[in-house]
Structure 1
Amino acid sequence: MPDLAVPIFIITYLGVALGRIPGLMLDRTGIALLGAIAMIASGAVPLSEAMAAIDLPTIILLYALMVLSAQLRLGGFYTWVAGRTTTLLDRPRLFLLSSMLAAALLSALLANDIVCLAFTPVLCLVLLKKGFNPLPFLLGLAAASNIGSAATIIGNPQNMLIGQVGRLHFGRFLLWCGPPTLIALAGAYLILCRIYNGDFTASAFPQAVELTPDWPPFDRRQTSKGLIGILVLLGLFFTPIPRELSAITVAAILLCSRKIHSRRILELVDWQLLTLFCSLFIVLHPITSRNIPSLLMEAMAQQGLTLSNLLALTTLSTILSNLVSNVPAVMFLVHFLDPNVPQQWYVLALSSTFAGNLVIIGSIANLIVIEQARKFRIEISFQEHARTGIPITLFSLLIMALLIYLHRFFMLL
């Protein structure tokens, strides 16, 4: 049988980049899964190697955090937080700031996708009833959740992978990535205020919303359980205990409930994202096992391009993240990084996450906001997103470039 590993890899990544295959009802997860199956069926990846190719610690960490996030969602925490910010609706700019800060903070502690899924319906409903233009607030939610998630190892799936593969320290990651995240968030807020100056209350969208929201009521006890779980987990992350072991233990304790059935919690786990991760690990395995990344690195070095140059790494990460989305881009690029140079891993985490704001397909969080808003007859076009996404991304990457320059100047790299 001919060696089909490289053709299957190329076709799969092209499919992931396009997001669909003409004539078939497949999304990115379905395409990645078919690619993994093709690798196994063709013999390019034996079944035993396919199972070993999956980075189990990363999958366990991601799964456990989804369980923790589900606990908070069923406890009504996300809806309660979003609802509390609506008390500032009479001051639109302050409301935008508070909603962005809440989204960024929660995204740094939990998966940003869940934050967008929980916040978007609440924002849509209250903004339409108030007669406000929902666009700046929804775009602010997507931008803030993406930016905020860059601050920590557990903020988004690609950071979890970077933290696990690079064996990065939770505290040092936060110290390196936290400051540029705060500056980028402030810049995003000011850019939105500038672009939508005077348009916060001029809504052309329908004010009468017939949908009846089906949101979990706020339960103080269940929310407290979730918040205590987060605090315990953050404390454990500063110990030598493996992060995945700490996270899955906390998740197991939360599943032991007399009020919330475990089935309800597990229904909120993003199995699509877990399937995407597992499939891409398998698709990438024959490429990495044959030393192809090293050969590509050598070819790039001959052209004067090396990822030890952090600006070059930032540029390549930004481009790939907007071609194939940031999770597949990171899964490919981690094979080029030096495990003894943590700054490379920090830069990849920041750049791939910041790049998610550039265009709609750059981040799953963007797609969630757009799909949820559509249920309320709010359309966010590619052009409307790009109107804010492009300047926000450019500003964020400029902050990164300045940070890289300052670290180099003060000999801190």
Structure 2
Amino acid sequence: MDTTLLIFLLVYVALAIGHLPGFLVDRTGAAVIGAFAMIATARITDGQAWAAIDYRTIALLFGLMVVSGGFVVSGFYGWLAARVALLKVGPAALLALLVLTGGVLSALLTNDVVVVAMTPLLVSITLSRGLNPVPFLLGFCFASNTGSAATIIGSPQNMIVAQTLGLSFNGFLAAAFVPAALSLPLVWGVIAFLYRGRWMRAPSAEAPARASVPRLDKAETIKTLVVTLAVIVIFVTTDWPRDLVALAAAAVMLLNRTIASKDVLKTVDGSLLLLLMGLFVVNAAFTETELPQKAIAALAASGFDLAQPMVLLGVVSVISNIVGNNPAVMLVTPFLSHAANPLAIGAALSLGTGFSSNLVIFGSLAGIIVVEQAAARRVRIGAAEFCRAGLPVTLASLALAAAWVALM
């Protein structure tokens, strides 16, 4: 048990701070090493390790990443970002458009892919207009996180929640769509208030490069749009296995005469898939010690019963900002599969992890991506500035989520 607990703690320390202390090992590396260590020290057998990996969730996420990758290689994300950002509107209206774009795209496609594809262009376009890029990047990032809570396909943690609780696409939509949609005007209102009078960029001796609209491959965009709509329609109207539908859609996307399959596959976040697979194994080995079950029982005895949606909302909101939203969901879902009210539990998990992830940079992968890509283009978003905007957004969003969950 001591070895299992040590490995488990080291993995989650790495998840919390971004690396394994003393080593050049990131979050994904820590999860993979942890999984191998559990097997090598006989904390879990290789058969149990394979069985612990929820291949349906991995397949669903992989398939949807490939479909979303079609929009990347066709130039759609860049084209859309440019079209929106180059509209002749004022800063507040532009922020509203970017918040709406980020929220909607993230609800329909994997939010991390959307953020990766659009952030660089948003930086260049706002700079070319003489605008301060920070409020627009933060608004887009925050909206991508809260908007992604609306649907099963919005984020990896939503897929895990739906698979664990047995929620249909429509059921998940009923549980989370309304608060996710209402969160977007909240994000806009907070950012617009905080950055009023600070929309413009400080004068610089270096003239920013003029932004242009990227080339759009119309045929590939149409193909990807048709496949995406087909997937959503099948999810809504049938009970076909979602993982198989996503894989079939991925196969259609990879079958192409003009774009190489390797270019589409490059858009897949393999590190995220490995991270989730490693955590499935690490968490399964830890569960075998029965320590989590005892901890859950102790919490329930103290009045913190995770089967109560309001309690769960608070707990996962805190955990998400320590280890990240995907690991937070994976920690608690094994103990919720037989919950009395799966819709309310699903709403608590999705909204808690999606809405709280805007508090700090490492609360979500989207936050890390935006900050790092902006820094690479000499736009600095410090931890203090991120939190100064993220705190009121998170508190307002969580208040909305709590009211919604209470109604359920």
Coarse TM-score class (shorter-chain normalised): over 0.9
Corresponding position: 1:23 with 2:22: yes
Question: Mind listing any 5+ residue stretches in structure 1 that lack a counterpart?
Answer: 408-412
Residue matched to 1:166:
165
User: How far 1:270 sits from its partner (Å)?
Assistant: 0.5
Residue matched to 1:225:
223
Residue matched to 1:341:
341
What whole-Å deviation, never above 9, does each CA across 1:322-358 have from its counterpart, x for those lacking one? 0001111110011222344211122111101111101
Letter in 1 for 2:223: K
Is contact 2:11-2:31 (8 Å) kept? yes
Residue matched to 1:355:
356
What whole-Å deviation, never above 9, does each CA across 1:259-284 have from its counterpart, x for those lacking one? 11111111111000001000000101
Is contact 1:153-1:163 (8 Å) kept? yes
C-alpha distance in structure 2 between counterparts of 1:7 and 1:206, whole Å = 53
Letter in 2 for 1:139: L
C-alpha distance in structure 1 between counterparts of 2:142 and 2:367, whole Å = 8
TM-score for the superposition, normalised by structure 1: 0.94
Matches within 5 A, 1:213-362: 217-238=215-236, 239-337=238-336, 338-342=338-342, 343-362=344-363
C-alpha distance in structure 1 between counterparts of 2:205 and 2:387, whole Å = 23
User: How far 1:183 sits from its partner (Å)?
Assistant: 1.5
C-alpha distance in structure 2 between counterparts of 1:31 and 1:207, whole Å = 42
Is contact 1:36-1:283 (8 Å) kept? yes
Q: Which sits farther off after the overlay, 44-53 or 86-95?
A: 86-95
Are the structure 2 counterparts of residues 28 and 93 from structure 1 closer, same or farther at C-alpha, using a change threshold of 3 Å? Answer: same
The CA RMSD over aligned residues, in Å, is 1.8
C-alpha distance in structure 2 between counterparts of 1:206 and 1:226, whole Å = 42
Letter in 2 for 1:94: A
Are the structure 2 counterparts of residues 197 and 259 from structure 1 closer, same or farther at C-alpha, using a change threshold of 3 Å? Answer: same
The percentage of counterpart residues that share the same residue type is 39
C-alpha distance in structure 2 between counterparts of 1:335 and 1:344, whole Å = 13
Residue matched to 1:410:
none
Letter in 1 for 2:107: A
The count of aligned residue pairs is 405
Corresponding residue SS for 1:150:
helix
What whole-Å deviation, never above 9, does each CA across 1:7-31 have from its counterpart, x for those lacking one? 2112211221121123321111111
Are the structure 2 counterparts of residues 50 and 199 from structure 1 closer, same or farther at C-alpha, using a change threshold of 3 Å? Answer: same
Letter in 2 for 1:218: L
User: How far 1:169 sits from its partner (Å)?
Assistant: 1.2
Residue matched to 1:108:
107
TM-score for the superposition, normalised by structure 2: 0.95
C-alpha distance in structure 2 between counterparts of 1:306 and 1:49, whole Å = 29
Corresponding residue SS for 2:150:
coil
User: How far 1:205 sits from its partner (Å)?
Assistant: 6.3
C-alpha distance in structure 1 between counterparts of 2:396 and 2:205, whole Å = 33
Are the structure 2 counterparts of residues 179 and 207 from structure 1 closer, same or farther at C-alpha, using a change threshold of 3 Å? Answer: farther
User: How far 1:87 sits from its partner (Å)?
Assistant: 2.9
Corresponding position: 1:398 with 2:399: yes
Are the structure 2 counterparts of residues 212 and 396 from structure 1 closer, same or farther at C-alpha, using a change threshold of 3 Å? Answer: closer
